[in-house]
């Protein structure tokens, strides 16, 4: 019994150490403990959010994964040339004063080698910053979903971005970073809704089936995240969908957990923090592990 007790203490210490380790490197929001149907975010709420800008204009979102790498969607880039691209971190508003932001250029754009623009499969990219950034209360990396993570139907998730507030909206998108909460939709159900054969194992779907809440143009490449104990974990990258927030057409996201090996193969030092996430419940509809918008 003494041996068993010592083993229990050991595993408890290891568990606490792992939690403290992840808390120290990713997924925490030090300040706070357009998206369709969303709301303005308080400054510092999502400190990993990046604005990817080409020639000074916001094009896509992204997420900081360590001090010198940002993750986004492959479809945001017509080439791998970093010329003309910049990344802004710590930004709250696309116009006006942002005292907490840092802007940096890009040294390298790495698209997934198996990215398929026609099927949207493997829609993921990594961008290496020209110089490492210092972490602050407003600039901090996100934890990433590890390869064995499971996201059952109904898992509550948050998506953030500066995209359009409505599909086909002639008005400018919101200038303040938006956030919206959406539930995961199982891959099988999502495949039926979006067209049989359209959803691969490398994708993850989320959205309110009644419509009204979704990511939209300009949110591409941005993060979808879930809360795991005290840390936030990125489950998806905004990828594609039919329109925005239409009923029975959930948005489709690149499934981050499918890419742990590839990400680690590209980022050889100071690798991102990966966290295994398993949601509660039973997923009856999931038999598999510029958002590209179509009319």
Q: Which residues are catalytic?
A: 75, 123, 220
What residues have CB less than 8 Å from 5, skipping those under 6 apart? none
Q: CA-CA distances (angstroms) from residue 27 to 12, 126, 137, 166?
A: 21, 18, 12, 29
- Residue by residue, DSSP assigns 132-172 as PPPP-SS--PPEEE-TT-B--TT-EEEEEES--SSTT--SP
141, burial (CB in 10 Å: exposed 0-12, middle 13-18, buried 19+)? buried
Residue 266's φ and ψ, nearest 5 degrees, are: -90, -35
- In this structure, the strands spanning 231-242 and 143-145 are parallel
């Amino acid at each position: 019994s003494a041996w068993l007790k010592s083993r229990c203490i050991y595993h408890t210490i290891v568990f606490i150490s792992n939690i403290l380790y992840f808390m120290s490197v990713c997924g925490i929001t030090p300040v706070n403990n357009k998206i369709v149907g969303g709301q303005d975010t308080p400054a510092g709420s999502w400190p990993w959010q990046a604005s990817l800008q080409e020639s000074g204009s916001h094009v896509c979102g992204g997420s900081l994964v360590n001090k010198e790498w940002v993750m986004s969607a492959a479809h945001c880039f017509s080439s791998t040339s970093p010329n003309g691209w910049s990344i802004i971190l710590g930004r709250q508003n696309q116009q006006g004063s942002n005292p907490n932001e840092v802007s940096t250029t890009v040294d390298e754009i790495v698209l997934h080698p198996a990215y398929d623009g026609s099927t949207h499969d493997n829609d993921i990219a990594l961008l290496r910053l020209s110089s490492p950034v210092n972490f602050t209360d407003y600039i901090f990396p996100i934890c990433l979903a590890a390869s064995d993570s499971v996201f059952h139907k109904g898992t509550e998730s948050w998506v953030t971005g500066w995209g359009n507030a409505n599909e086909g909206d002639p008005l400018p998108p919101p200038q303040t970073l938006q956030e919206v909460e959406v539930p995961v939709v199982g891959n099988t159900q999502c495949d039926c809704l979006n067209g049989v054969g359209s959803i691969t194992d490398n994708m993850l779907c989320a959205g309110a089936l009644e419509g009204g809440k979704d990511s939209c143009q300009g949110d591409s490449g941005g993060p979808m995240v879930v809360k795991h104990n005290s840390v936030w974990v990125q489950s998806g990258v905004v990828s594609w969908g039919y329109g925005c927030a239409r009923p029975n057409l959930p948005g489709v996201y690149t499934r981050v957990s499918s890419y742990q090996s590839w990400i680690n193969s590209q980022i050889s030092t100071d690798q991102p923090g990966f966290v295994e996430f398993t949601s509660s419940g039973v997923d009856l509809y999931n038999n598999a592990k510029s958002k590209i918008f179509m009319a």
